[in-house]
Amino acid sequence: MRFGRGTRRLAMSPSPRVRNVRDKELAAGAHAECRNAPQPERGENLRKTNSVKGDNMLRWKMTFLILLFVASVTGSAHGSQYVEAIGSNSDDYIYCSVETSDGCVVSVGYSEAPPYGGKDMLLMKVDACGGILWTTVIGQSADEEGRCVIETHDGNLVVVGDTKSFGGSGNNLVISKFSSGGVRQWSTVLSKTDAAFEFYSYAVIEDASWNLVITGYMKNHNLSRDELFLSKFNSSGSHLATVSYYASILPAYDHYGHSLVQATDNGDYIVVGSMYHASYGQEILVARFESDLDVVWGWWIAGEGDSGNANKIITLADGGYAITGVAGSKLFYVRLTSALNPDPHGYRRITTGITEGRALVQLSDGAIAVVGDYVVGSVSDVVLTKWNSEGSLSWGRRFGGSGVQNGYAVSEDAFAEITISGNENAGLSEDAWYAKCPSGGLTCLPLHYILSSESWNPDEDVRYLTGLDRTSALQSVSWSPSTGPLTLNDSTNCISPCLIGDADGSGAVDIDDVVYLIAYIFTGGPPPFPEVCCGDADGSGAVDIDDVVYLIAYIFTGGPAPVCTACS
């Protein structure tokens, strides 16, 4: 069993993938499916043709007939449950996903697909059914990777990552802003004028003043160590400040910032990450910084052996915080008060197998869902756990297929459905994957094992940090990289120039494709784009009325997905 490449839907789900129309109440709500929302902005997103899809009368008649057809469908569901992989024939990897205010999911990572060469920053948006709305790649001749994406207060997107194509030699920080439709608005690169320094970014937040604050690590080749850094930019992309830190202890440790939030009491920044020494292993690091990026304190938790790392921190509804990561090769979950003291429920971790927590979210019932990895030798599965408000494990489950599957992001929508995302590789190439399930039973995920947990009492101490550099020898410049759309299919063994069933070339299979095919078959409208075979939804080798019926069943009644054929 594996996630993708032609087997993903049937192999992964004990029940057929649900892709049906929401009822009137949901369609009118803010969480209506993304395919029913206004079309995304055109520009640096997937190509949309301007071909005429039949005359207005034909479109009106077909809309009326389709509405009658939909009205006859029974058993509509509130949500769309699915498990699927998305990718090109090259490696496509995502590090971070965020659920946006329109109920969609935006992910960032990299793709090695043409045209720019090497790794290119990949940004893509999928709808509530897992269908691709648009993709954007940013790159030049060297490597670019996206590490984190957030939605800002105005509904736009901010991405941070790394570039080796611009800003001088080595690895440099890049921050970009996009519209909700994937159109790039600006990009800024931060680098050191001294080639002995490199920046690697991991996370970004928008603070209460709408400034953008980034954490990660700066590789200091002069001193042979890695230092935690914080950078601040305003909402227009102008650089405000950058500071790097290390702990004033011996032996010297490397320091990494992996995630951050703004404090709920006074506007400080709370950063979590790790400290590492080759002889002493890795420890969990928690640090507090003032709004001007001066350090307040640094606090570490012994990682038990060589495994200790905090990957994600979130703010809770009561003003406290929750952290996940790995300690002693076990996924841990820590809940802290608003004063950053341990919550009365203490520290918890999974006892089953080798696990690591990657991301977490507070659910509508107050519980915490944590997603991550379950490692077995050279392969891994996804682990998903739910912890109640008392700190106890409600359930923990491991699922996956052959090869490597990682869980990197988790979110909850307006209907208490959990969306998780990550990557999978069963030996051919890396693909992004997504799953959406009810928060209770997770009935659409194959259950491998039930996990158990234990209380955990780690050693704690304070390791004071000292500042190394404040903006000296830094340069901040705007960047206009090459950008464009990337065709990603959710049937990755399909060697074709298009998404099968996407007759109008919009990048999604929807009702427009039905109208487009009818115009082509009956009234001499334009052929499916970019190749006629892209409209062959049933895989028969011909484009005819059977493909129209097939698409209607797929879109409205949960019928089988368009058949993957070697279209050329």
- Write out pLDDT tens, residues 115-162: 676 888 999 998 877 788 898 888 777 888 999 999 999 999 999 999
**pLDDT of amino acid 304:** 57
Q: What is the mean pLDDT of the chain?
A: 74
Distance separating the N- and C-terminal Cα atoms of the chain = 29
**pLDDT of amino acid 118:** 82
Question: C-alpha dihedral over 332, 305, 401, 258, to 10 degrees?
Answer: 60
The yes-or-no verdict on residue 360 having pLDDT over 60 is yes
DSSP state string for 91-120: -EEEEEEEE-TTS-EEEEEEE--SSS-S-E
Write the single-letter amino acid at 149: V
Beta carbons of 255 and 464 less than 8 angstroms apart: no
Burial of 403 (0-12, 13-18, 19+ CB in 10 A): middle
User: What is the domain partition of the chain in residue ranges?
Assistant: 50-75+494-557
- Write out pLDDT tens, residues 272-310: 999 888 877 788 888 888 998 888 877 777 655 557 899
Least confident of 84-93, 202-211, 461-470, 475-484: 461-470
Nearest CA-CA partner of 310 in 272, 275, 340: 272
- Write out pLDDT tens, residues 417-473: 888 899 888 667 788 888 877 665 444 454 444 556 665 555 544 444 444 343 344
Beta carbons of 332 and 326 less than 8 angstroms apart: yes
SS3 call for 389:
coil
Give the Cα separation of 555 and 117 in Å (integer).
36
SS3 call for 405:
strand
Beta carbons of 537 and 551 less than 8 angstroms apart: yes
DSSP state string for 448-517: -EE--EEEE---EEE--EEEEEESTTEEEEE---EEE----BSSTT--SSS-TT-TT-SSS-SHHHHHHH
Max CA pair span of the chain: 79
Give the Cα separation of 138 and 157 in Å (integer).
15
**pLDDT of amino acid 343:** 76
Q: What HEC string does 144-159 produce?
A: EEEEEEEECCCCCEEE
Phi, psi of 472 (to 5 degrees): -70, 140
Which CATH number describes the domain made up of 50-75+494-557? 1.10.1330
**pLDDT of amino acid 440:** 57
